[in-house]
Amino acid sequence: RKETNQGERERNKTKEGGRERKEMKEGERERNETKEGESERSKSKKGERQLNEAKEGE
């Protein structure tokens, strides 16, 4: 009986650890999304610059 309780406690610890790991992954995903958003923004800025240069060239 004592052993099973200890086993359950260990399992609960790993469950909590898994949840924390999941949250960390979600945080990383959000960070990656913002990074992607920034690169998209810089791409669009580059595109705008090219458009402006093309307009000036006309």
Is residue 10 scored above 80 in pLDDT? yes
Q: How far apart are CA 18 and CA 22, in angstroms?
A: 6
> What 3-state class would DSSP assign to 1?
coil
Is residue 2 scored above 80 in pLDDT? no
Is residue 25 scored above 80 in pLDDT? yes
Q: How far apart are CA 30 and CA 48, in angstroms?
A: 27
Q: Which residue, among 41, 44, 23, 22, has the nearest Cα to 33 in the 3D structure? A: 41
Q: How far apart are CA 52 and CA 20, in angstroms?
A: 48
Q: What mean pLDDT do residues 17-39 have? A: 83
Q: Model pTM? A: 0.37
